[in-house]
Structure 1
Amino acid sequence: MVSRQGLTYMTAAPPISVFIIAHNEEDRIARAIRSVESFADEVIVVDSGSTDQTVRRAESRGARVLVNPWPGYGAQKRFAEDQCRNDWLFNLDADEAATTSLAEEIKTLAACGALERAPFWRVRIRDVFAHESGPAAWAYGYNQIRLYDRTKGRFSASPVHDTVRPPKGAAIAQLEGAMAHRSIRSVAFHVEKMNRYSTMQADDMAARGRRIGRWRLVTEFPLAFLKAYVLRRYALYGWWGLVISTNFAYTRFLRLAKTYEAELLAKSARQEPPE
């Protein structure tokens, strides 16, 4: 909305491109796309080689699907950004869905020109487990920039830490609606994810030359468990809270164990005499 000579005019609503990265998400991709259809000018899905029906189901919801071999989280999201035709972007993962209140909020902000108040907008992303229909009142979540003007800032290229990097001093606003995050299909799925993700974290630490204090091998698990059980309020889930707190702590321990293992192997290789 702009004012000239005492008169007020409506500015054109900036079109919003939505992008999603996916791999073997046939059970979740349609829900993610459906949740943003009310405000999306286009939906881009970048698939990294799914072997299930992810591509077909995304296309059936009207998304434009591109295939790009997996380069890491940040790099894949930067690739997806480049495929969008608009500068205003909204990102969600295939295991996420905008709640109805969030979708309506974004649609209203865009329609009245209020998006221009800030080039970056944070959204609260709340955990939803397989046995739940929506986030619990106490659900843990994190607050990330997911709606933004890509001419002002973009995702980092980190293979592990996929976050939007605003320039210093940039205005950042807060969306009131939340996003539902269904990251854990089952305990079996979570175990596989813990193993895969902890390997990526250990590789990232090695690439940045980070070393760990040996004492952390003793303290990491109990401290991480307490963080999850108390600070993240997983205790409120009852016995299920005990399960997810233990898994969280084990993930944190695994990345350190793998980092330490890599240090031992490197040391051993240096000490071996040449053949």
Structure 2
Amino acid sequence: MNYRHAFHAGNFADVLKHLVLSRVLAHLSLKPAPFRAIDTHAGLGFYDLTADEAGRTAEWIDGWGRLAEPFPPAVEDLLSPYRAAVAAVRARHGPTIYPGSPALIREALRAGDHGVFVELHPDDAATLRARYNGHARTKVLHLDGWTALNALIPPPERRGLVLIDPPYEVLGEIDRLGAHLARAVAKWPTGVFLAWYPIKDRAAVDRMVAVLDAALTRPALRLDLMIDRPDDARLTGSGLIVVNPPWRLAEEAALFLPALAERLARSDYGAFRCAALGPAA
């Protein structure tokens, strides 16, 4: 439990993860029936980009910082829920704040919707509890995220999403992600699942995706964003598996992924992948 997201808040991986999360939340909000959003590895909720941790790495400058200039209108339309949520969080907590996934979820909740934020690190869980347990629509649990993934589904609302974003400190956690995700989908076949992974060990990611593809009984998308040339010695990209994606998400990804790959590229290399998985592939 050494990983602390405060050092990496707002980086290129957060941009992809939070943009897709915001798109899914926007789609869920189109129907009046309430939904539940579960974040299994929630962190602190939000982060100050002027704090010591973010200042040491300055990763946000080449992530969220590169989104300062607008994209073409079609892409900006897709980014608008993400940008609006960041602005709302900053209005609440200060102009240098960058929201983690709990803060983005909190901004999307309507009357009747609920957010459940799970965090194992004791200090981070205490901070998260102080920030969100006072809200009627949010609840914080100090619990192992993998345990929570099994225990909290299916939710009473029957609609909603689960974000799985582990720190990947443990050997073999990529394979663990695929196994746990397949079991969770079998338990809640209609839920939307977003599972984030770093792209460093490409063979491990491809192996996990192949096994998951064969096991899934529901449609899914693989969304990858590469911001540097493949290099198994360092992080050069990240990705998301989205199970039961909203019906237009693949079409949307075909617009925002190439735009992000161009804007967030470290040098002269940016790439992306949008591939169907599961029985509809």
Q: TM-score range by the shorter chain?
A: 0.3 to 0.5
Say which structure, 1 or 2, has more relative contact order (CA 8 Å, 6+ apart): 2
Q: TM-score, normalised by structure 1?
A: 0.33
Bigger CA radius of gyration: 1
